[in-house]
Amino acid sequence: MIVQKYGGTSVGSPERIKNVVRRVAKYKAQGHQIVVVVSAMSGETNRLIALAKEMQAQPDPRELDMVVSTGEQVTVGLVSMGLIQEGLKAKSYTGAQVKITTDSAFTKARILSIDEQNIRADLANGYVVVVAGFQGIDKDGNITTLGRGGSDTTGVAIAAALHADECQIYTDVDGVYTTDPRVVPEARRLKSITFEEMLEMASLGSKVLQIRSVEFAGKYKVKLRVLSSFEEEGDGTLITFEEDDKMEQAIISGIAFNRDEAKITVRGVPDKPGIAYQILGPVSEANVDVDMIIQNVGVDGSTDFSFTVHRNEFDKAMDILKNKVQNHIGARDVVGDNKTAKVSVVGVGMRSHVGIASKMFRTLAEEGINIQMISTSEIKISVVIDEKYLELAVRVLHKAFDLDQEPA
């Protein structure tokens, strides 16, 4: 039993939907039971949001979900028609019809449960079941949406509910790469990657899958596979929850990076409890997302506190710190730089291998690239550098860790 999820680009026109239909028919002919989860046709969600904004600058969330959820509903009907036209038995479902029960957080709802009985019965009767992604229904029968990219989560959740063998995510890339091929032409598609690595890669800018769907897949042990909907062949990248004997093969899986990082340092901060909250509280209240946070040990009762934000929110964050925080906490001053970038090496293998950090730092030093901030996790080392060195850093690290070579 396979769940296949197709994104908006893959179903962006009747012609492209026919490609999807052919692929589904091929799998069906191989004897698989298939559930297809689809997004709205590309552009459709934006069209609907634009209409809504003509009625209300800030559309009412319940009503916005009512409007936007029609995008996927149209696609499921069209895909079913295509399958029926090919001689298959097919049946479409809205999220409400499945039913996919969510909380009532309109526009960003979370799935609470899935009643998979109807789907299971249809599959047993030879139907291909086509389910609208991105949407559900709350306990009062209101239509909800899971927020942008939520169709991936729908696919994974249905695969989990059905105990499907695999959840295939079809997208416009053919898998997960060791890094962005536009920066490093030698970047190589990974045959497999662990969920943890995927989470680190995704949050760092390899925008292949929605993070929530990966978390969801990890939680319910759903095998995820990323594939291209535009290529006939290829096995894509399998995202596994088992490390297998992978540690013995590749130490580092990829180089992730984020170009839009801005760093801010509050200097001369009194080194006492509660200071981190006093600095970041006002920032987060202003809905500014914070990425890396660094605080070194203090000297003489004083320390420096640094963090990074998205470049677009740099001015807003600086303003809050200078006018609401600095004097209040008795900091010496606030300095920042919005011409920075973040580069990370990611790999579960580094857990058992010493020397990854030093190799990374040496590689950058040899190119004269100064490291401004460092942050590490179990399977990731991130550095903030001057943005002008970003491409160079990614290239030399990719080479240094032999990512252009298949693992032995």
Interface positions with a second copy (CB under 8 A): 14, 17-18, 48, 51-52, 54-56, 59-60, 62-64, 66-67, 69-70, 73-74, 76-78, 80-82, 84-85, 90-92, 94, 96-97, 141-143
Contact 38, 79 (CB under 8 A): yes
Nearest partner of 380 among 342, 350, 340, 341, judged by Cα? 350
CB atoms within 10 A of CB 356: 18
Two structure tokens written together for 110: 């979370």
* 90 vs 187, beta carbon nearer a second copy: 90
* Torsion 202-206-207-208 (CA) sign: negative
Structure tokens given for 333: 């001053």
**Between residues 13 and 296, which has the closer beta carbon with respect to a second copy?**
13
Residue nearer to a second copy on the CB measure, 80 or 192: 80
Q: Which residue, 42 or 142, is less far from a second copy as judged by CB?
A: 142
Shortest Å distance, C-beta 164 to a second copy = 23
Q: Shortest gap between Cβ of 99 and a second copy (angstroms)?
A: 9
Burial environment of residue 282 by CB neighbours within 10 A (0 to 12, 13 to 18, 19 or more): middle
Distance CA 311, CA 376 (A): 21
Where is 242: in which H helix or E strand? Answer: none
Residues 154, 145 contacting (CB under 8 angstroms): no
What is the closest distance, in whole angstroms, from the C-beta atom of residue 100 to a second copy in the complex?
13
Beta carbon nearer to a second copy, 64 or 204: 64
Nearer CB in complex with a second copy: 145/179: 145
CB of 101 to a second copy, least distance (A): 14
Minimum Å gap between C-beta 281 and a second copy is 32
Q: Return the number of the residue (135 or 253) whose C-beta is nearest a second copy.
A: 135
- E strands in 249-299: 254-258, 261-270, 290-295
Closest alpha carbon to 308 in 330, 349, 275, 336: 336
Cis ω before 99 (30° cut-off from 0): yes
Q: How many CB atoms lie within 10 A of CB 29?
A: 9
Strand 2-6 with 34-38, pairing: parallel
In the numeric block, which tokens belong to residue 199? 């989470």
Alpha-carbon distance of 84 to 82, in angstroms, equals 5
Residue with smaller CB distance to a second copy, 82 or 155: 82
Return the ∠ at Cα 325 (arms to 259 and 338), rounded to 5°: 15
Task: CB nearer to a second copy: give 48 or 255.
Answer: 48
The CA-to-CA distance between both ends of the chain, in Å, stands at 33
Q: Which residue, 5 or 91, is less far from a second copy as judged by CB?
A: 91
CB of 96 to a second copy, least distance (A): 7
CB 90, min distance to a second copy, A: 8
Asked if residue 218 lies in contact with residue 157, where contact means CB atoms within 8 angstroms, the answer is no
Spatial distance between the Cα atoms of 344 and 361, rounded to a whole number of angstroms: 11
The least CB distance from residue 54 to a second copy, in Å, is 4
Nearest distance in Å: CB 95, a second copy: 12
Shortest gap between Cβ of 117 and a second copy (angstroms)? 12
Cβ proximity to a second copy, 59 vs 349, nearer residue: 59
E strands, 277-317, where? Answer: 290-295, 302-310
Across-strand partners of 299? 302
Shortest Å distance, C-beta 153 to a second copy: 22
